[in-house]
Structure 1
Amino acid sequence: MFNHLLVLDIAGGAVRRIDLDGTVSTVVAETGSAPDGIVHDPAGDRIYWTLMGRPRRGESEADFTERNGGLRSARVDGADVTTVVADGDITTGKQLAIADGFLYWCDREGGRVSRSRFDGTDLTDLIVTKRDPATGLVAIDDQCVGIAVDSAAGLLYWTQKGPSKGDAGRIFRAGIDIPDGETAESRTDIETLWSGLPEPIDLWIDAASDTLFWTDRGAAPRGNTLNSAQVPASGTATRTPTILADGFAEAIGLAVDTDAGIGYVTALDGTVRAVPTRSDAPTERVVASVPGSAFTGIVGIGS
């Protein structure tokens, strides 16, 4: 079970520790530009986080198409901050996952799902989406955001959120490894599991129960929600997702404590909310609310 939470504060460029009683402290004061996804490796007792990088200025919305994202690491107490993947080797680092000695992440404006070892070596693109031949940019429908890995089944899952509040989001599944004779651009094993979602962001898979959880920052009533659905067998129809909680102010990060039956959701208003994921779990509550912060990635640290 989780002892405490670590969350990324994109407004403050920091890693915050949030105890389950709501106490907030700072673990890493300077993460680098626009931190988004965070994971914990218990074996090495280190945390890893992605950076979206610096946006272009002068746009009506932040433009992260410039390739200057990266990946950092530190001990779980915040000491020994190191660079794992150099700034510029990722376009826009988003959610991060760990499986079998590898880090997996989505690169939004890069239109990629990638992985590397914990030291940044063996950096490999597993999925590369299409680009506009005229601009060389990835279309917004094909930008990858959230990721979850089921290493026992050899499968990875990812979201492509689509336009803001656009009801064009999708969740995909493919094998962890590229099929023989294929490339990251030409894979034929990609399945679309759900489409027409408001704006799916981060994923979490409970492989023991074959349940997928995700946040969605789209428009109400289906957006700004925490959702769950049974993972379908290959070639079978997907079930309509269940909304576990709603009313978030731009829901982003997700960490599920499967032992406790609680999903922890971050939002851009600087809140962390605990949501029951099964009937015998505690009732929903706000764990912390930090004015002036904007929370993205979250990871639970076990006792």
Structure 2
Amino acid sequence: MSGIYQLTVGVLFVLSVALGQRSGDVYILFTDSYAKQIWKLDFNNSNYSNIVIENHENPIAIDYDPVMNKIYWTDVGRPDIRTCGFNGENLSLVRKLKPGSVPDGLTLDPVSRLIFYTDTGNDVIALIDMADFYHKTIINTNLDEPRGIALDRTQRMMYWTDWGAEAKIERATYLGESRTTLVSTGLIWPNGITLDTEGQKIYWCDAKTNVIEVLDFDGNNRRQIAHRDSFHPFDIFLFEQVLYTTDWTSKRIYQVYLDERNMTSLNGSHFKRLNGIHVFRAGAFQNDTNTCTTNKGGCEQICIPTSGGRQCACRDGYTLITNGLNCTGQADVFALFTDSLAKQIWKLDVINSIYSNIVIENHENPIAIDYDPVMNKIYWTDVGRPDIRKCGFNGEDLSLVRKLKPGSVPDGLTLDPVSRLIFYTDMGNDVIALMDMDDYYHKTIINTNLDQPRGIALDRTQRMMYWTDWGEKPKIETATYLGESRTTLVSTGLIWPNGITLDTQGKKIYWCDAKIHKIEAMDYDGRNRRQIAHGSSFHPFDIFLFEQVLYTTDWGSRRIFRVYLDGRNETSWGGRHFKRLNGIHVFRAGAFQNDTNACTTNKGDCEQICIPTSGGRQCTCRDGYTLTTNELNCTVHNACSWCYPGQCGGELLSADCVCHPGFTGHHCQTITTKPAMHVLVQMTNSDEQRFEIDSTDNQASFWTNVNNPTSVHYNLSAQYTAQSSGTLPDKPAYIEDFHVIELSRFIY
């Protein structure tokens, strides 16, 4: 079942059937997902007519709105929901769905002006109001493969099938409340579902067991209605005590009379793949009304009918205000996350569940990510290049922040946008470093007693950083922005601590451990440690706290999970079209307050780097520089901070360099070993005699008795080989590159 849609294409048919003495034409709407057409059959005249709709990909579910004489259908190939007039006129888009959506089920409440649909790609059931197309997610938990959906419009209840690993049939109110499982045994691939609201019966078809079954609304009196060998029913609809079902195997529509229980074919086998079906009698719709029919019952966005009248509701991302009618708007919430195997950065509109790929060239392995609301910039690390880069919110203005030396593994990144600082971890070199965001001055903060530092988070009000280390002795530590007052908070019960995030108001630390499959929390002082969430196949990489909800990326399911702090799993995104989700950052657009501190303007007059403090600010310098006595400016440090090729003979800021063999000087910058040279000199005198000197003995000078040469041609090549091991030591972070070059050559 999971591979159904990989090759399907789409068609929508309308078939009209005259049934005996019934008044008015009866139409059957159904889709053929291999033919990419819409048909209407006037059964009285046995005439098919093609309703021409452009750009079908894979139409599946279908329904009809008798109030406006409109057809609605889903297309899992595009994916979207569209509508048109009964003859194909006035084609319009209802809702464009995000990539990966599979809207297999659709049904309407034309009186209440509501659309309901299932999405097996994202495991959700949602509704849309038919006037303004406001969208509201109803159910997004404990769904696996939701498909068919049907409504009891008088009781405001919805029923649906789920053909996932634990197949079931469920029921809930229009808003997803009072959820009940009605059937959970004897099912394999339950597909279509339909209701007899007067008789209070549920009918469904199962494509794996090849049957049509029924049970009462209360879950009792289950029985088989029909069975057929090689029967693969997709959808089913009850109309005037006759069941209509589409069959993939025979490519036919079958009628099943409830009193006779025999199956009769309505059409030949010229169709290709029949899917959704809906039956109605033209002109038979009664102009029923409820409190939601007119002007949405006074509701601003969505009106839900109730036994006592109506209940107003709001679209995703909005909440109902105290008057019970209007909705308060919220700024857009975005989640930024990386997919390292796909080499992509994604932006998720959390409210509308819409993904967009931020197209950046030359990704190798993007990992950590953060957002600067001051300049509307995205920052991320790439362990494949390795480097740190940034771009505008939509991918524009790509630029390099810092090229890291080979072997660097910058798994963690976080920003202090007020102080204009970047912090990152590098488990390839076992360091934590910072950079200022204006001039990219780089300063190593911690380079001792680190093994595999990964996640990093900041308490910007207290100027403290917290990080995870999943090395041989895993731990969670904290220190000031400059690495002082370093403290180990947790060193037991950890194996692979990855992401870390903070509740700065509640003074709590949250982290995820990929080996023990947990999210845990504790207070700032290391006390009150407790488990927040756990999953047996859960492999979380990063975690971020936003408005009292935890967002975490999971390698195992390739999804983003959203978890309330009390442990409730609210929803997930992603899955099939992602490969390996890593860093994540969530923020509300436009919500950033223009906070300031002593470092915000002109770096607090610091020449290089400004660090905020409780009393103001502290200036500091990039690697290789030290602060002068005025405590504002920086000067080159004339000791081991510039020592290559070599190493410090003692403390970093006071010792002399111990140079690599073959080098000398205050910074080991002078080569004492002669390079291997090959010199070829050709001269011609006035008598046009030619003389040649060819030397490979490393002579620095050559003499000749040729007087007054009229031309001289020479070629010099040199090769330097380091003494001792024959190779130079690895460059420290502050050395961008190293070359041995020829300074000069001359003839006199």
- Compute the displacement of 1:82 (Å): 3.2
Q: 2:211 aligns with which of 258, 271, 281?
A: 271
Alpha-carbon distance change, 144 to 78 in structure 1, aligned in 2, over 3 angstroms = farther
Aligned counterparts of 1:149 and 1:274: Cα–Cα separation in 2: 22
Structure 1 position 288 matched with structure 2 position 217:
no
Structure 2 unaligned regions, length at least 5: 18-22, 242-748
Query: What is the rounded CA distance, in whole Å, between the counterparts of 1:72 and 1:249 in structure 2?
Result: 32
Q: Secondary structure at the match of 1:144?
A: coil
1:228 is aligned to 2:166: no
Q: Report the Cα distance in structure 2 between the residues aligned to 1:48 and 1:91, rounded to whole angstroms.
A: 18
Q: 1:159 aligns with which of 104, 115, 118?
A: 118
1:15-164 correspondence to structure 2 within 5 Å: 43-53=24-34, 69-75=36-42, 79-86=46-53, 89-99=55-65, 100=67, 101-130=69-98, 138-139=99-100, 142-162=101-121
For residues 44 and 187 of structure 2, the distance between their equivalents in structure 1, rounded to whole angstroms, comes to 29
Deviations along 1:71-117, one digit per CA (max 9) or x if unpaired, are 3333568943332345x632111111111211111111211111122
Q: Is the 8 A contact 1:39 1:299 kept in 2?
A: no
* Whole-Å separation in 1 of the counterparts to 2:60 and 2:177: 27
Deviations 1:222-242 (A, max 9, x none): x2x22111122xxxxx42521
The amino acid that maps onto 2:140 is: S
Deviations 1:185-214 (CA, angstroms, capped at 9, x unpaired): xxxx21111013111101111121010111
Q: Which residue of 2 aligns with 1:261?
A: 200
CA distance in 2, matches of 1:286, 1:35: 31
Deviation of the 1:295 alpha carbon: 0.3
Q: Read off the aligned partner of 1:194 and give its amino acid letter.
A: I
Cα 1:81/1:39, change in 2 over 3 Å: closer
| Cα shift at 1:262 | 1.2
1:219 aligned onto 2:165: yes
Identity of aligned residues (%): 17
Paired with 2:11 and 2:231, the residues of 1 have a C-alpha distance of 13
In 2, Cα distance between equivalents of 1:116 and 1:297: 22
| Partners of 1:172 and 1:193 within 8 A in 2 | yes
Question: Alpha carbons of 1:302 and 1:210: their partners in 2 closer, same or farther (altered >3 Å)?
Answer: same
Cα deviations by residue, 1:112-159 (Å, 9 ceiling, x for unpaired):
1111222222221101013xxxxxxx32xx222211111222211111
Q: What displacement does 1:37 show?
A: 9.2
Q: Deviations over 1:21-67 (max 9, x none)?
A: xxxxxxxxxxx9888998989843121111212xxxxxxxxxxxxxx
TM (norm. structure 2) is: 0.28
Which of 140, 143, 146 matches 1:200? 146
Aligned equivalent of 2:372: none
Check conservation: 2:36, 2:57, Cα contact below 8 A: yes
Greater Cα radius of gyration, structure 1 or 2 = 2
1:275 positional shift: 2.0
Higher relative contact order (CA 8 A, sep 6+): 1
Q: 1:286 to 1:198 in 2, by over 3 A?
A: same
Q: Amino acid of the residue matched to residue 92 of structure 1? A: N
Q: Distance in 1 between matches of 2:14 and 2:232?
A: 15
Change (3 A) 1:208 1:83: same
C-alpha displacement at 1:160, in angstroms?
Answer: 0.8
**1:244 and 2:182 matched:** yes
Q: Aligned partner of 1:70: which letter?
A: Q
CA-CA distance at 1:251 after TM superposition: 1.0
Matched-pair contact (CA < 8 Å) for 2:104–2:148: yes
RMSD: 3.0
Q: Aligned partners of 2:77, 2:218: CA distance in 1, in Å?
A: 35
Aligned to 1:22: none
Distance 1:77 1:242 in 2: 43
Instruction: Determine if contact 2:11/2:36 at 8 Å carries over to the other structure.
Output: no
Residues 175 and 253 (structure 1), Cα distance of their counterparts in 2 relative to 1, 3 Å cut: same
The aligned counterpart of 2:393 is none
**1:51 alignment partner AA:** D
SS in 2 for 1:158: strand
Partners of 2:16 and 2:206 lie apart in 1 by 20
Equivalent residue letter for 2:95: I
- Compared CA separation, residues 98 and 152, structure 1 to 2 (3 A): same
Change (3 A) 1:39 1:75: closer
Query: Tell me, what secondary structure is at the counterpart of 1:209?
Result: coil
Contact 1:146 1:159 in 2 (8 A): yes
Q: Are 1:201 and 1:215, in contact at CA under 8 Å, matched by a contact in 2?
A: yes
* Distance of 2:107 and 2:138 partners within structure 1: 14
Number of aligned positions between the proteins? 225
Distance 1:242 1:250 in 2: 19
Distance 1:84 1:38, change over 3 A: closer
User: Which blocks of at least 5 consecutive residues in structure 1 are unaligned?
Assistant: 1-9, 11-31, 54-67, 131-137, 163-167, 180-188, 233-237
Match of 2:127 among 173, 177, 180: 173
Asked if structure 2 preserves the Cα contact closer than 8 Å seen for 1:146 and 1:203, the reply is yes
Structure 1 residue 294 displacement after superposition = 0.6
When the two structures are superposed, what TM-score results if normalisation uses the length of structure 1?
A: 0.66
CA separation in 2, counterparts of 1:38 and 1:192? 30
Is 2:62–2:74's contact at 8 Å kept on the other side of the alignment?
Answer: yes
Give the residue type in structure 1 aligned to 2:164.
Answer: G
* 1:191 alignment partner in structure 2: 136
Kindly indicate whether the alpha-carbon contact (under 8 Å) linking 2:14 and 2:40 is maintained by their aligned counterparts in 1. no
Q: How far did 1:174 drift? A: 1.6
Indicate if the aligned counterparts of 1:204 and 1:213 stay in contact, CA closer than 8 A.
yes
- Contact 1:126 1:178 (8 Å CA) reproduced: no
Give 1:242's aligned amino acid. Answer: T
Q: Secondary structure at the match of 2:159?
A: strand
